[in-house]
């Protein structure tokens, strides 16, 4: 757990980066969330204590405070996704369990204006490698609504396996929604997920059929 004290590392792969979430991101975070409200609302948990689409700064400050505490306790890795150095979205490794499980859950969102450029899978591949080979986790899960095709394509392209439906798992957009559980363990990516993803893109490009970006 000591390796998770404080904020996570800054990681980069070409123009795509992951860096720690900061209080100073409040204005760009709020602007991006408001502009993408319709894009994000169908997929995000309903939480009356943290209404993420309000115009005030309070929800963001509360969220960052919570994630800071969880990071210090070894329970979360909160990142900002960047593209060419600019704010592009958010990726959080949360619900970290140590002991004999060494597992966690991943959640992410991207600015709709940047969708389709391969930013999200690249960022997720970097996060997975950091979790497995630096932090020491063994298993990562991504639970995604069946209707969220874009998010499902991200994990499917990276080789997350589908492990079944979790009935009425989360309250989202006014109702209890089913989610598909996707997962990876460290044994699935012995050479690293980022290398695997990079090779897949390069191979597809050489064959004249570029990987469909997400």
Domain boundary assignment for the chain = 11-204
Express each pLDDT in 56-97 by its tens digit. 677 788 888 898 899 989 999 999 999 999 999 999 999 999
The answer to whether residue 2 scores a pLDDT higher than 50 is no
- Choose from 160-164, 173-177, 206-210 the range with maximum mean pLDDT: 160-164
Give the per-residue pLDDT at 6. 47
The pTM (predicted TM-score) of the whole model is 0.89
SS (H, E, C) the chain: CHHHCCCCCCEEECCEEEEECCHHHHHHHHHHHHHCHHHHHHHCECCCCCCCCCCCCHHHHHHHHHHHHHHHCCCCEEEEEEECCEEEEEEEEEEEECCCCCEEEEEEEECHHHCCCCHHHHHHHHHHHHHHHHHCCCEEEEEECCCCHHHHHHHHHCCCEEEEEEEEEEEECCEEEEEEEEEEEHHHCCCCHHHHHHHHHHHHHHCCCCCCCC
Question: What is the CATH superfamily name and number for domain 11-204?
Answer: Gcn5-related N-acetyltransferase (GNAT) (3.40.630.30)
């Amino acid at each position: 757990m000591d390796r998770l004290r404080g904020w996570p590392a800054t990681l980069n792969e070409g123009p795509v980066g992951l860096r720690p979430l900061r209080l100073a991101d409040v204005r760009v975070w709020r602007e991006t969330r408001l502009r993408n409200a319709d894009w994000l609302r169908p997929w995000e948990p309903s939480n009356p204590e943290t209404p993420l689409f309000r115009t005030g700064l309070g929800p963001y400050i509360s969220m960052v405070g919570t994630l800071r505490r969880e990071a210090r306790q070894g329970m979360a890795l909160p990142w900002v996704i960047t593209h060419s150095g600019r704010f592009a979205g958010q990726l959080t490794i949360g619900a970290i369990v140590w002991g004999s499980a060494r597992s966690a859950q991943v959640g992410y969102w991207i600015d709709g204006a940047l969708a389709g450029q391969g930013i999200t899978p690249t960022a997720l591949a970097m996060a997975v490698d950091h979790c497995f080979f630096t932090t020491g986790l063994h298993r990562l899960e991504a639970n995604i609504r069946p209707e969220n095709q874009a998010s499902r394509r991200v994990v499917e392209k990276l080789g997350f396996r589908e492990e079944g439906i979790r009935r009425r798992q989360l309250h989202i957009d006014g109702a209890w929604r089913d989610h598909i559980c996707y997962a990876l363990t460290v044994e699935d990516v012995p050479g690293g997920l980022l290398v695997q993803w990079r090779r897949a893109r390069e191979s597809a490009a050489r064959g004249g059929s570029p990987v469909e970006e997400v």
